[in-house]
Amino acid sequence: MYNLLMITGHEDNIWQNNEKKIFPMSRIFEYTEDAVEEKYKNNLNALIKLPCLFCYEGFDSYGQIGSITKLKKIKKMAGYGSNQKLEPHIEIEYTLDKKMPIIPISSLEDYQNFGVGCGDNDCEIHRIHWAVKDINIFKAICINLSQKYEPFLKEELLKLNAINMKKIWSSEYKSKKLIFISHRDKDKKNVSTLAKYLEKNLDVKTFIAHEDIGVNQLWSDEIQRALRTMDLFLCLATDTFHNGSWTDQEIGYAIKMGTPILYVKLGKASPKGFVSFKQALSCNWNNAGEEIVSELGEMNLFKK
């Protein structure tokens, strides 16, 4: 679920000035499913908890991810000439997430990835409004970006076959559920111990980059092959997890693939970026194995 806030002013990058913006009350929940409107119409402040896509009318534009920090109801003159009168509006304060990529939007297909202008009806794309979309925005971002770079994803070196699968997951790949473990290399000793525990207590095979990639294999190619074929993405987030050069990219890939993600918090740092809105499982290295097995059981995943 996310807020779609569309205004005019692409040429002047109006959203980037971070000034308060005002929407007519009549334009809120336009192009929003009835069930979603019913959920929020009497509790507008709950919309603050949702991520936002701030974008502009029309094509050949772009959107930015961020959040609403404050909103309030106001009265503002609306209409023209003698027809002007006070109408209810919503004033918002907001912030743009500079860590998130700018989203290129150049076609109807780009919009439709975000649940906008569906049914070949592009009227929504040419109207100032505020909609609430029942779409996983972070998955939509990954789809949008992958379409822009589709040739890269189709390279021969990323094609999968039985030989590659055995190299990555061992010969058990057909009979086991496959868990990709994302981690910082400095934690490899604890990660190895945890992986053995999971394989002993669950019907799974784990992939750990520093152990499962051969010396002569291209590092990024093997990681991408593993990411494309995993059944679960297990994120072992210590306080330095998001400082790694690979970890955030791996998260983005997992979201793009629509793979279930279990974010395990092994420190004080909270989830960031693509998983910042995801509930974390808090534990320590001593009890991580038991907690993960229990959590996967509650998720009805990978029972022994």
pLDDT digits (tens, 9 = 90+) for 239-266: 888 776 678 788 887 876 678 889 999 9
The encoded tokens of residue 189 equal: 């000793």
pLDDT at 294: 92
pLDDT at 78: 81
Lowest mean pLDDT among 11-20, 231-240, 248-257, 268-277: 268-277
In the structure, what pLDDT confidence band is assigned to residue 162 with cuts at 50, 70 and 90?
low
pLDDT at 157: 36
Residue pair 285/194 in contact by the 8 Å Cβ criterion: yes
**What residue has token string 């404050």?**
70
Give DSSP secondary structure letters for the chain: -EEEEEES-GGGTGGGG---EEEEGGGBTTT--HHHHHHHTT-GGGGGGS-EEEEESSSSEEEEEEEEEEEEEEEEEESSGGG-EEEEEEEEEEEE-TTSPPEEE-SHHHHHHTT-S-TT--GGGGS-EEEEE-S-HHHHHHHHHHHHTHHHHT-GGG---HHHHHHHH-GGGGTSEEEEEE--GGGHHHHHHHHHHHHHHSSEEEEEHHHHS-TTS-HHHHHHHHHHH-SEEEEEE-TTGGGSSSHHHHHHHHHHHT--EEEEE-SSPPP-GGGTTSPPEE--TTTHHHHHHHHHHHTT-S--
Arithmetic mean of pLDDT, 288-302: 84
Lowest mean pLDDT among 29-38, 97-106, 286-295: 97-106
**Alpha-carbon distance 30 to 129, whole Å?**
6
pLDDT at 122: 74
In the structure, what pLDDT confidence band is assigned to residue 293 with cuts at 50, 70 and 90?
very high
Arithmetic mean of pLDDT, 20-48: 93
Residue 169 has pLDDT above 90, yes or no: no
pLDDT at 18: 80
Residue 274 has pLDDT above 90, yes or no: no
Q: Give per-residue pLDDT as tens, 103-159.
A: 878 788 888 888 898 765 678 899 999 999 988 787 677 666 655 544 444 443 344
Q: What does pLDDT average to over the chain?
A: 81
Percent of the chain with pLDDT over 90: 36
Q: Specify whether the backbone of 6 is left (phi greater than 0), alpha (psi in -120 to 50) or beta.
A: beta
The encoded tokens of residue 249 equal: 């990219």
For residue 67, the cross-strand partners are 95
Mind listing the domains of the chain with CATH numbers?
A: 2-137 (no CATH), 156-298 (3.40.50.10140)
Arithmetic mean of pLDDT, 172-191: 87
Residue 91 has pLDDT above 80, yes or no: yes
The encoded tokens of residue 81 equal: 């000439």
**Alpha-carbon distance 169 to 190, whole Å?**
20
In the structure, what pLDDT confidence band is assigned to residue 173 with cuts at 50, 70 and 90?
confident
In the chain, the amino acid numbered 105 is I
| Better-scored residue on pLDDT, 272 or 294 | 294
**What residue has token string 């990978």?**
302
Q: What is the pTM of this model?
A: 0.52
